[in-house]
Structure formats: C-alpha cells, structure tokens
Amino acid sequence: MKNLLKTLFLFVALFAFMQGVWAQTFITDVMIISGNQSQTDGYKTQYQNEGWTVIDNDLNAGAGGNFIYLLYKTNESSGSSGTAVTGFYLKTGNDDHPNTITQDGHTYSLVTAVGAYDLNYGAGGAYIFLYYTKEAFSPNRVVTDIYFNNNSNGALGANGGSSGFDLNSGAGGDYIYMHVVTITTDGIIDVYTETQLRDAVMLNDANIRMMADINISSEVEVNNNRTVTLDLNGHTLDRGLSSATNYGHVLKVINGSTLTINDASGNNSGIIKGAYTGVGGGISNYGTIIINGGTIRDNHSGTKGGGINNHNGASLTINGGVITNNEAHYHQ
C-alpha cells in the first residue's frame, strides 16, 4: 500500500509538471519532535490532527536516548520558489547550530524542533542538526517525499558531502539514512535508489535521471503500454549476478511499452551490466527500445542475446552508445 501511494503521489506530481506548473503535492514545512515515548506519542497525535505527516521511523532507533521523529506538511496547490522545500543540509561536528547557514550560495534554516534539535540527542555520538531551504535551484525542483532506511546509496550527506550519512553516527544502533525525493519543473524524476527507480518506471511518460549508481535485486520491467525514458547520466545500473538466474535481466520491456535509454554523460560512461540469465542477457525486449547512449557490457545469457535479446516482433533502434563484452551461448 505504501509503494502504491508513493507511485500515485509521483504520478500526480509528474502530470502537473507536464502541464507546466509545480507539482500539486510538495513539502512545505518540516519539524522534529523529540522526547520520551509518552511525549512523542502525544506530539504525534497532536500534530497529525493539525495536518502534519509523521514519518514513523525513530531516528535514534537502537541507540537509546530520545525518541526522535521527523514530520512534514504538504501543499496541494501550485507551488513556487519560497513555498516549497527544495533541499536539505545535515550539519555535524560540534553543538553549534545557528538559525541559518549558507552552503553553495543557498541559505538553509534550522528545522523547528519540539524538544531537542540534535538528531542524536541522549544517545551520544555525533551532533547532528537538520536544515532546509526553500530557495530555487537550477534546474528548479521541489521536494516531494522524505523517507529513511538502512541504505546509504543516494542518501543525504553531511556538511555538504555526497556520501550518505548515518543519523546514528557514533551512537551505535540501527543504520539510518535520510532520502529526499525531488522532481524538477521539466518533469525529470531524479532517482538515487532501487526503490525510487521502481516507483518511477510505473509512471507513463516518465523521464527518469539516475543520480547515483544503483544495484538492483531483480529485473526492472517497463510494462502496461508505458513510455519511459531512462538517462543513465554517467551512472551504473548493475544486476550484480555471477551465475545463471531465472529472470536475471537488468531490464525487460513488455510488448506495447517503450524504453528510451540516454546517457547525459556524453562519453557513454553510464553502464547497464551484471545480468546473468538462461535467456535474454542484459535487456530482454518484447516491445520498443531506442538506445541513444550508454554502455551495455558484462552481461551473460545461456542462450540468445548476451547484451540485448530482441524477441520476434520487437523493435530495437540504436542511435548511439556501446555494446561490448557480453556473452551468450546457444545449445541445440
């Protein structure tokens, strides 16, 4: 149900962008609640009744200390710079947490807290403070979702860094990373993780841009007559298989659906790799594929199509890119 709601949420946002306006649902305010369990349970009820959404992940989970939760509010009318949250910043180091800080030309404000501001409060470890901004970026974007998990890939870094930062750093406990979903005004969905990629390909006319290398646990399928554009953007989409596996492709396109593969890197450094399957290799195509860039390499198939298996009736157009070092065996 949660993934379905996220998909519907992204569909509404993308449709609005295609009409030339901001997403109809975007985050406008954020807040931290902190205290013992009884206190935070009371805060949750109070603020949910006031229209806040509680992300039900204790940011001190497994580390002791305060129970800490992030809440946000959304707006369902047309947004603009100054109303929508457009980015976040994690400050770590000492206990100094001014009301505003400047990073890369943008001013960030300290997230309001009911209780302690420190996301590690009471658990020891690093001091961690969360800031947000509503200033415009280029290209223009809005934050549409926030979630936490134990995957550092694509997570928010600390002090402007690009590596995901553990919100329990130095305190032990669970690994907790903050993920921020943004959509740009030109309709591009930026994805950092497997979950975000899978949500995005469920949308019709999705224009997806990879912002990090992504390892996938099963093939990503374009189906239900959808049209999807995937920009590898210099990153690697890796199935990571070393032996034959049923449905061991990286990508599959079903009859009636279309996938366009681009690579904005300009040097084909975006890679599709790591498939190992009985039939079909890196990409199994029953529909329509257009390849404009990127590299398809190091994929394996027991029979047919080490790099791409273009099935009878499927359409494959190659305008650019590289297909190399793939392997297929055929046994009669």
| Tens-place pLDDT, residues 144-185 | 889 999 988 778 999 999 889 999 999 999 999 999 988 876
In whole angstroms, what is the distance from residue 247 CA to residue 31 CA? Answer: 43
Closest CA to 111 of 76, 156, 175: 156
83 or 71, which is more confident: 71
3 state SS of 147: strand
272's tokens? 């599709």
The larger pLDDT score, comparing residue 24 to residue 270, is at 270
Residues 129 and 123: beta-carbon distance below 8 Å:
no
> Residue 77's closest CA among 30, 134, 138, 12?
12
Q: In what order do the strands lie in the sheet with 327-328?
A: 276-279, 300-303, 327-328
CA-based nearest residue to 44, from 105, 114, 91 = 114
Which residue carries 């929508």 as its tokens? 84
Q: What angle do CA 256, 258, 260 make, to 5 degrees?
A: 170
Looking at 69-83, 117-131, 175-189, which range is the least confident one? 69-83
Q: Are the C-beta atoms of 194 and 214 separated by less than 8 Å?
A: yes
> In 3-state terms, what secondary structure has residue 217?
coil
Task: Look over the chain and give the mean of its residue pLDDT values, rounded to a whole number.
Answer: 89
Residue 23 contacts residue 183 (beta carbons within 8 Å): yes
Rounded mean pLDDT, 137-141: 82
- 39: which 2 tokens? 């206190």
68 residue type, one letter: I
Domain boundaries, the chain: 2-184, 213-328
Which residue, 143, 120, 147, 14, is CA-closest to 60?
120
pLDDT at 13 over 50: no
pLDDT at 15 over 50: no
Q: Is 324 helix (H, G, I), strand (E, B) or coil?
A: strand
pTM recorded for the entire structure: 0.68
Q: Which residues pair with 53 in a beta bridge?
A: 72
What integer is the mean pLDDT of 100-115?
A: 97
Q: Which residue has the higher pLDDT, 28 or 184?
A: 28
**3-state SS record for 34-91:** EECHHHHHHHHHHHHHCCCEEECCCCCCCCCCCEEEEEEEEECCCCCECCECCEEEEE
Confidence of residue 36 (pLDDT cuts 50, 70, 90): very high
Main-chain dihedrals φ then ψ at residue 44, nearest 5 degrees: -55, -50
CA atoms 317, 10, 269, 149: torsion sign: negative
pLDDT at 109 over 70: yes
Residues 60-86, mean pLDDT to the nearest whole number: 85
Work out whether the CA dihedral 179, 57, 11, 217 comes out positive or negative: positive
d(CA 245, CA 281): 11
Residue scoring higher pLDDT (13 or 310): 310
pLDDT band at 23 (very low <50, low <70, confident <90, very high): very low
Residue 138 has pLDDT above 70, yes or no: yes
pLDDT in tens, 241-295: 999 899 999 999 999 999 999 999 999 999 999 999 988 889 999 999 999 999 9
Minimum mean pLDDT range among 8-22, 171-185, 187-201: 8-22
Choosing among 3.40.50.20, 3.40.630.40, 3.40.47.10, 2.100.10.50, the CATH entry for 2-184 is 2.100.10.50
